Amino acid sequence: MTVSLYLFVISLFVLVVYLVLKSVEYSFCVFHGQIPFVPSAGRLRRAVVNEINSHYAYMQTACDIGAGYGGLARCVSRKCGKRVWALESMPMTAAILWVLNLFSFGRVKTVWCDAFEYLKTSDGFDIGIAYLGPGVNWRLREYSEKFRVLITLDVPIDGLHPVRTIDVGRGFTRYGRKKFPHRLFVYEL
């Protein structure tokens, strides 16, 4: 009885700490105009996997620019056979990402960083994947030489012309008052 009570209290404490930290990170993101962690929908992930396997199966590395808990990064690693770098700036989200990526047995590397700072000094990747929103996506233009292919979810990169736009079907992401239907924008650079 006492052990169960201890376990219950500890679980409750962990849950409360998690929710508080999550709210702090969320508020920080909103305040700084950065998209907070929202996992990509299953149909978007399937479309990314399909796109990579259909057109870029021969490529080796991918980078999820803003990986959240890494669902998309691990999906690409598992289903496309790529080595994936998962970049995440929020500390608690990055810590959870690191723990979950342990189950990828080294195929997904966690990097706690500002993705744009990291990209400045990195050698580059074959494929970049970004689910970052309209307020941030334009910044990817500056890093186009770091990728052979860039895939953005739901929002295009202003000033670049996609080689393909894939309509993923139902669903959307809301940024402010505007709804962006689920689509992939594929750029060959």
CB of 65 to ligand SAM, least distance (A): 7
Alpha helices in 56-90 (DSSP H): 71-80
The Cα diameter of the chain in Å comes to: 63
Residue 10 CA: distances (Å) to CA of 6, 15, 97, 148: 6, 9, 22, 47
Q: What angle do CA 103, 60, 129 make, to 5 degrees?
A: 75
Interface mask toward ligand SAM for 73-112; x: CB under 6 A: --------------xxxx--x-------------------
Indicate which single residue of 47, 52, 63, 67 sits in contact with ligand SAM (rule: CB under 6 A): 67
Bridge pairing between strands 178-188 and 164-175: antiparallel
Residue from 12, 16, 38, 57 touching ligand SAM (CB under 6 A): that is: 38
Look-up of token digits 């709210």: 23
Taking the alpha carbons of 20, 25, 74, 51 in that order, is the dihedral positive or negative?
A: positive
Binding of ligand SAM by 131 (CB under 6 A) = yes
Taking CB under 6 A as the criterion, the residue among 7, 8, 18, 114 binding ligand SAM is: 114
Among 56, 63, 66, 100, binds ligand SAM (CB under 6 A): 66
Minimum gap (Å) between residue 1 Cβ and ligand SAM? 40
Binding site for ligand SAM (CB under 6 A): 34-40, 64, 66-68, 71-72, 87-90, 93, 114-116, 131-132, 136
